[in-house]
Amino acid sequence: MLAGAAAVLPIAAEFVDKVAVHPRPFWAFDYDPEAIYFYQSLRILDGRAPLNVDHPGIPVQLLGAAIALVTGRGPLQFDAFRIAAYAVAFALVIVAAIVLARVLFREASPWLAVAGVWTYFLAPLALERNAIWSAEIVYFPLGVLALVLVTRALRDDAAPRHDVLAGAAVGLCIATKFLFLGWAAALLIVAPRRVLAAAGIAAGFLAGTCVAATRYPYMLGWVWQNASHGGAYGRGALAPPDPAATLRAYAAFAVHAKAWLLWIAVIAALLWTSRRALDRRLALFAAVAALLTMALPFRNPTNTRYFLPAGVALVALLAAARAVPRAAAIAACGIAALLLAKNVVDDVRSHETKIRQQTALREQIDAAVQRAAPRGGIIVYGWRVPEPSFALRIEATEPRQLAQIAVRYPRDGHFNDWERRLYLPPGARRWDVAVIDPALADRFPEPLPPPVAAVPPYRVFVNPR
């Protein structure tokens, strides 16, 4: 317990700095995916199926629905919801760290237990996603739950129910992100009773997604589209993967993730050191789960957050080597501490830079809009413009939510480039100023005049009518 609590301290310190000392405004870039999950939770509270089930992410939406019962169901409570959601998610991280140290590393040196907790947070973007309300924020606690139950199922004295429970935990992970499908394959390879494990996987997935049962055909189609089509999120043409392009993308990822690859090499060395007392079944599960997770995003391996389920699997790989000598465990913990310190510094720097850049960009946009329409008017914002009204409006799913947002931002509308549609505030008949990315100008539902100002990457347009 002490090892788990000690390991979480530096992660908690960074979390407090990002959430309480230097908080990111809700409109600064990461409102996608945060607002998506928020509004889907509100739909669940209204008794309706969520619309956005791409990942599918439904366990996070269900957790968000419970949080929104406390913080409020209106869109103007989004910021209060975020802070509460971060706190709840990090409380789960603390519990998971303690459980991990007490169960998977019970027979190991406390130094190895600390390194085990840190293993996930050494993965690229793990610390960043720890304070962004999305599926990734629960990877560590749900992954640890699955690892604990898988470890129990692999014991010689395990009962049939343990296979079912291990499968159910993995199924719940898949309901959170389809990238955990690699874990399902790994469990079916090592489980003593594969049929029961498969039944558990199905039950866990169904339990985690039952509120969106009508969306199962869409989920299946989305997975197939991403696997079979090119382009972002499978929006391109049906095409086989390009092996050369895939290898180049993985090579680019390797260059970016040198510190994480170094830690994987350390884990491999520890496995070799403890090979005579290695937990081979757990090591096989973890290795297969990690390798398949790394292979699943073959269409877009440069998006490093897709590899985070592998980061959790590596925790189990380290646990399989728990018989390493104390000196080796201390040395490994020292290396992990250095790598974690680098990750923390990089993440804090990135967090503060993002706030500074987005704040400056918003100030420039507001000044340009004021010059373009000094007497007021209706302002329409396009994709990713760092404005509070846009962050709240773009992912809203109900007209009444837009009306509630308009109470605070009565002059602001938005342009949805996916729908090629303008949404004006109540009572407005036309827009006066539009701030959009010129790359999306051809999707605007009416001809645009030449821009009157440029605030890269956006342009400011004034309605000639």
Rounded to two decimals, what is the model's pTM? 0.95
Answer whether residue 215 shows pLDDT above 80. Answer: yes
pLDDT at 234 (0 to 100): 66
Q: How far apart (Å, rounded) are the C-alpha atoms in residues 69 and 38?
A: 12
Mean pLDDT confidence for 446-454 = 95
Phi, psi of 421 (to 5 degrees): -140, 145
Q: How far apart (Å, rounded) are the C-alpha atoms in residues 254 and 124?
A: 11
Q: How far apart (Å, rounded) are the C-alpha atoms in residues 133 and 28?
A: 13
Q: How far apart (Å, rounded) are the C-alpha atoms in residues 316 and 105?
A: 9
Band (238; pLDDT cuts 50, 70, 90)? confident
Is residue 464 packed enough to be buried (19+ CB in 10 Å), middle (13-18) or exposed (0-12)?
exposed
Q: Which residues pair with 256 in a beta bridge?
A: none
* Distance, C-alpha 52 to centroid of its chain: 14
In the chain, the amino acid numbered 433 is: V
% of the chain residues with pLDDT over 90: 85
Structure-block tokens of residue 168:
């159910």
In the chain, the amino acid numbered 394 is: I
3-class DSSP assignment, residue 393: helix
3-class DSSP assignment, residue 456: coil
The tens digit of pLDDT for each residue in 148-177 reads 999 999 998 999 999 999 999 999 999 999
pLDDT at 246 (0 to 100): 82
pLDDT at 70 (0 to 100): 97
Torsion angle defined by CA atoms of residues 57, 58, 63 and 67, in that order, rounded to the nearest 10 degrees: 90
Closest CA to 150 of 332, 337, 279, 293: 279
Q: How far apart (Å, rounded) are the C-alpha atoms in residues 65 and 68?
A: 5
Band (1; pLDDT cuts 50, 70, 90)? low
% of the chain residues with pLDDT over 70: 99
The tens digit of pLDDT for each residue in 280-335 reads 999 999 999 999 999 988 877 778 899 999 999 999 999 999 889 999 999 999 99
pLDDT at 365 (0 to 100): 97
Mean pLDDT confidence for 336-360 = 97
Residue that has been written with the tokens 């004034």 in this structure: 462
Measured at the CA of 323, the angle between CA 318 and CA 329, to 5 degrees, comes to 65
Mean pLDDT value across the chain: 94
* Distance, C-alpha 216 to centroid of its chain: 21
Q: How far apart (Å, rounded) are the C-alpha atoms in residues 164 and 204?
A: 9
**Range in 54-58, 199-203, 228-232, 455-459 the model is least confident about:** 228-232
The tens digit of pLDDT for each residue in 402-433 reads 999 999 999 999 999 999 999 999 999 999 99
Residue that has been written with the tokens 């040198």 in this structure: 258
Band (227; pLDDT cuts 50, 70, 90)? confident
Q: How far apart (Å, rounded) are the C-alpha atoms in residues 95 and 91?
A: 6
Structure-block tokens of residue 163:
């296979």
Band (232; pLDDT cuts 50, 70, 90)? low
**What stretch of H or E contains 381?**
strand 379-381
Closest CA to 412 of 41, 27, 83: 27
**Range in 100-109, 232-241, 252-261, 335-344 the model is least confident about:** 232-241
Residue pair 343/127 in contact (Cβ under 8 Å)? The answer is yes
Band (244; pLDDT cuts 50, 70, 90)? confident
| Rg, the chain, Cα only | 24
pLDDT at 316 (0 to 100): 97
Answer whether residue 16 shows pLDDT above 80. Answer: yes
Residue pair 260/335 in contact (Cβ under 8 Å)? The answer is no
The tens digit of pLDDT for each residue in 24-82 reads 999 998 898 999 999 999 999 999 999 999 999 999 999 999 999 999 999 999 999 99
Answer whether residue 83 shows pLDDT above 80. Answer: yes
Measured at the CA of 348, the angle between CA 342 and CA 353, to 5 degrees, comes to 125
Using a CB cutoff of 8 Å and minimum separation of 24, what contacts does 21-27 make? 22/351, 22/352, 22/355, 23/83, 24/131, 24/351, 24/354, 24/355, 25/355, 25/358, 25/359, 25/388, 26/78, 26/79, 26/82, 26/388, 26/391, 27/358, 27/362, 27/386, 27/387, 27/388, 27/390, 27/391
Q: How far apart (Å, rounded) are the C-alpha atoms in residues 317 and 284?
A: 8
Is residue 305 packed enough to be buried (19+ CB in 10 Å), middle (13-18) or exposed (0-12)?
buried
Q: How far apart (Å, rounded) are the C-alpha atoms in residues 340 and 346?
A: 10
Strand 379-381: give its sheet, edge to edge. 421-423, 412-416, 379-381, 433-436, 458-462, 453-455
Q: How far apart (Å, rounded) are the C-alpha atoms in residues 422 and 432?
A: 12
